[in-house]
């Protein structure tokens, strides 16, 4: 960790991208490879020093705010729910304060383009950008590896056993082949990968879905284990197809991957409606993305069919938006 000269700035803003998991969610929890892409929607964290020792957090888009004094939370907006949602941000800054060996209060303001609780990595993008902004404000320069570790740790404190895929992509950006406990590979994907995200707006909890898959695996180990392994093989074939720019194969593999996720019980009828609508309107492939059980799906489509696929998802009851991959991970904003 380098100490940088004390900053003249009294506020630092950093941002980090959202993500879509193209292959391997859930199976990644059991050590299989997954493929994840950073997309051009970002969370922005602005951090300022306070005169007292409180950590005050204002999440503008979630309309939640309040302050932590030690473990005690005082809500301003959003009531008791605000404590649960803002706690990972508090954990993130506390870790930076410990790393910088400083005891000071901080004001953190979060603005974000990323839909929350939708499987797009909003909380990791918020934690990662907060860590970057707070560390710069406090005069320490963390490596990307250190930012990833701190963001992972603050997620772990809240969610138990996350794979780490979300903080990894929020930190590094681009396209990653990710495997729990191994170094990530940044993939060189030159092809444009035109994607449409469809949001069912059905709320769900990733933690509960991860637990449901674990339960299913315990009850039917000989059936579920091979499905998990096949999920990993799909991700490896997808890596080759992405590198070659063979989007037709990528689409086929997305469809098969979705079938496996349905088989382990993490789809939802609202997701199925959007996935089928996308395929029927000409998408090369479509699947749920992230934890499932609601949240979002992702469709891959040729450029000329993007609008048609987007409209079909909306007609099937979702909200939809087109996204591009972005190479930029966490960064300090000018």
Q: Which stretch binds ligand PMV (CB under 6 A): 9-17, 45-53, 160-168, 231-239?
A: 160-168
Q: Is 168 in the site for ligand PMV (CB under 6 A)?
A: no
**Strand ranges inside the chain, DSSP E:** 2-3, 11-23, 34-49, 55-59, 64-69, 72-77, 106-112, 140-141, 175-178, 185-186, 195-199, 285-289, 296-300, 319-323, 331-332
CA–CA gap between residue 256 and residue 160 (Å, rounded): 29
Report, in Å, the least distance between residue 294 CB and ligand PMV: 10
3 state SS of 304:
helix
CB of 168 to ligand PMV, least distance (A): 10
Min dist CB 161 to ligand PMV, Å, is 7
Give residue number: closest CB to ligand PMV: 290
Measure CA of the first residue to CA of the last residue in the chain; give whole Å.
22
- Residue 308's DSSP bridge partners are none
Among 18, 29, 176, 313, binds ligand PMV (CB under 6 A): 29
Contact between residue 160 and residue 310 where contact means Cβ atoms under 8 Å apart? no
Question: Are 49 and 10 contacting, i.e. CB atoms less than 8 angstroms apart?
Answer: yes
CA 239/CA 257 separation, integer angstroms:
14
Neighbours of 26 (CB within 10 A): 29
Binding of residue 163 to ligand PMV (CB under 6 A): yes
Of 206, 267, 281, 310, the one binding ligand PMV (CB under 6 A) is: 206
Tell me whether residue 52 is one of the annotated catalytic residues.
no
* Set 58, 61, 113, 166: catalytic member: 166
Distance CA 168, CA 112 (A): 18
- Beta-strand pair 296-300/195-199: antiparallel
Site string for ligand PMV, 281-320 (x = CB under 6 A): ---------xx-----------------------------
Does position 162 bind ligand PMV by CB under 6 A?
Answer: yes
Select from 16, 25, 148, 154 the one that contacts ligand PMV (CB under 6 A): 25
Closer residue to ligand PMV, CB minimum distance, 203 or 327: 203
Tokens, residue 236: 């490896």
Residue 326 C-beta: closest distance to ligand PMV, Å: 17
Measured from the CB of residue 181, what is the shortest distance to ligand PMV in angstroms? 12
Contact segment (CB under 6 A) with ligand PMV among 24-32, 45-53, 100-108, 141-149 equals 24-32
Asked whether position 26 contacts ligand PMV by CB under 6 A, the answer is yes
Q: How far is the CB of 246 from ligand PMV (least distance, A)?
A: 25
Nearest to 298 by CA among 287, 311, 309: 287
Assess 231 for contact with ligand PMV (CB under 6 A). Answer: no
**85 touches ligand PMV by CB under 6 A:** no
Closest separation in Å from C-beta 242 to ligand PMV: 19
Residues in the chain, total: 334
Q: DSSP secondary structure string, 111-167?
A: EESSPTTSSS-HHHHHHHHHHHHHHHHTTEE--HHHHHHHHHHHHHHHHSS--SHHH
Determine which residue in the list 115, 119, 167, 294 makes contact with ligand PMV, applying CB under 6 A. Answer: 119
Catalytic machinery residues: 166
Q: Which residues make up the interface to ligand PMV (CB under 6 A)? A: 25-26, 28-29, 119, 121, 162-163, 165-166, 206, 210, 290-291
């Amino acid at each position: 960790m380098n100490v940088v000269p004390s900053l003249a700035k009294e506020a630092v803003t950093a941002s980090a991208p959202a993500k879509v998991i193209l292959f391997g969610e859930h199976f990644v929890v059991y050590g299989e490879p997954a493929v994840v892409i950073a997309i051009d929607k970002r969370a922005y964290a602005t951090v300022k020093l306070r005169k007292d020792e409180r950590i005050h957090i204002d999440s503008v888009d979630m309309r939640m705010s309040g302050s932590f004094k030690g473990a005690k939370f005082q809500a301003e907006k959003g009531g008791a729910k605000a404590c649960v949602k803002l706690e990972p941000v508090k954990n993130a800054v506390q870790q930076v304060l410990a790393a910088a060996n400083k005891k000071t209060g901080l004001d953190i303001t979060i603005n974000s383009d990323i839909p929350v609780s939708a499987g797009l990595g909003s909380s990791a993008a918020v934690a990662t950008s907060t860590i970057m902004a707070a560390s710069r404000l406090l005069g320490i320069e963390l490596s990307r590896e250190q930012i990833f570790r701190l963001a992972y740790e603050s997620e772990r404190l809240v969610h138990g056993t996350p794979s780490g895929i979300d903080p990894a992509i929020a930190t590094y950006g681009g396209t990653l082949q990710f495997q729990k406990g191994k170094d990530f590979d940044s993939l060189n994907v030159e092809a444009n990968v035109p994607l449409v995200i469809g949001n069912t707006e059905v709320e769900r909890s990733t933690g509960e879905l991860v637990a449901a898959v674990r339960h299913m695996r315990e009850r039917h180990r000989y059936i579920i284990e091979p499905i998990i392994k096949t999920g990993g093989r799909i991700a490896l074939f997808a890596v080759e197809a992405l590198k070659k720019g063979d989007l037709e194969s990528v689409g086929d593999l997305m469809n098969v991957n979705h079938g496996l996720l349905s088989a382990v019980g993490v789809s939802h009828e609202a997701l199925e409606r959007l996935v089928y609508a996308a395929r029927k309107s000409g998408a090369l492939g479509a699947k749920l993305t992230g934890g499932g059980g609601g949240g979002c799906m992702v469709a891959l489509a040729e450029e000329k069919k993007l609008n048609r696929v987007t409209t079909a998802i909306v007609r099937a009851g979702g909200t939809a938006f087109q996204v591009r991959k972005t190479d930029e991970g966490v960064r300090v904003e000018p």
